[in-house]
Amino acid sequence: MKSQVFGNKVFIGMSGGVDSSVSAALLKKQGFAVTGVFIKVWQPDFIDCTWKEDRLDAMRVAAKLHIPFITLDLEREYKKEVVDYMLREYKAGRTPNPDVMCNKEIKFGAFYKWAREQGADFVATGHYARCARTNRESRISNLEKKDYGLYKGRDEEKDQSYFLWGIKQSELPHILFPIGHLKKIEVRKLAKKFSLATAEKKDSQGLCFIGKVDMKEFLANFIKKKKGDVLDGGGKIIGHHQGAVFYTIGQRHGFTLIEKTPRQNAVYVVAKDVSKNTITVSDTPSKDKAVASVVVERVNWLSFAPFAGAKLRGRFRYRQKLISLTMREVKKDSMVVAVNSHEWNIAVGQSLVLYEGNRVVGGGVVDKLLYSE
- Condensed to tens digits (0 to 9), the pLDDT of residues 166-220 reads 999 999 999 999 999 999 999 999 999 999 999 999 887 656 656 566 777 888 8
- Does the pTM surpass 0.85? The reply is yes
Active-site annotation holds for 208? yes
Quote the pLDDT of residue 137: 56
Are both 19 and 95 inside the same structural domain? yes
User: Is the predicted pLDDT of residue 91 greater than 70, yes or no?
Assistant: yes
The active-site residue out of 34, 208, 210, 312 is: 208
154 within domain boundaries: no
Query: Domain range holding 85?
Result: 9-126+178-215
At 191, give phi and psi (nearest 5°).
-60, -40
The answer to whether residue 171 is domain-embedded is no
Q: How confident is the model over 268-287, as a mean pLDDT?
A: 86
Mean of all residue pLDDT scores within the chain = 90
**Could you tell me if 270 and 294 lie in one domain?**
no
189, 215, 241 - which closes a domain: 215
Do 121 and 185 have their domain in common?
yes
Give the domain CATH number at 270: 2.30.30
CATH number at residue 67: 3.40.50.620
Q: Say what the pLDDT of residue 135 is.
A: 60
**Residue 123: which of 171, 77, 90 has the closest Cα?**
171
Of 219, 222, 261, 220, nearest to 238 by C-alpha is 261
- pLDDT value for 9: 97
Say what the pLDDT of residue 3 is.
Answer: 47
Measured distance CA(283)–CA(112) in Å, rounded? 45
119 and 16 in a common domain: yes
In this predicted structure, the answer to whether residue 355 has a pLDDT above a threshold of 70 is yes
State pLDDT tens for residues 303-350.
788 999 999 999 999 999 999 999 999 998 999 999 999 898 899 999
pLDDT above 80 for 282: yes
Three-state secondary structure along the chain? CCCCCCCCEEEEECCCCHHHHHHHHHHHHCCCEEEEEEEECCCCCCCCCCHHHHHHHHHHHHHHHCCCEEEEECHHHHHHHHHHHHHHHHHCCCCCCHHHHHHHHHHHHHHHHHHHHCCCCEEECCCCEEEEECCEECCCCCCEECCEEEEECCCCCCCCHHHHCCCCHHHHHHEECCCCCCCHHHHHHHHHHCCCCCCCCCCCCCECCCECCCHHHHHHCCCCCCCEEEECCCCCEEEEECCHHHCCCCCCCCCEECCCCCCCCCCEEEEEECCCCEEEEECCCCHHHCEEEEEEEEEEECCCCCCCCCEEEEECCCCCCCEEEEEEEECCCEEEEEECCCCCCCCCCCEEEEEECCEEEEEEEEEEEEECC
pLDDT at 263: 53
Number of folded domains that form the chain: 3
Q: Which of 102, 191, 207, 249 is catalytic?
A: 102
Q: If you average pLDDT over each of 156-165, 226-235, 250-259, 261-270, which comes out highest?
A: 156-165
Query: Tell me, what's the pLDDT at 4?
Result: 43
When pLDDT is averaged across residues 216-241 and rounded to a whole number, the result is 91
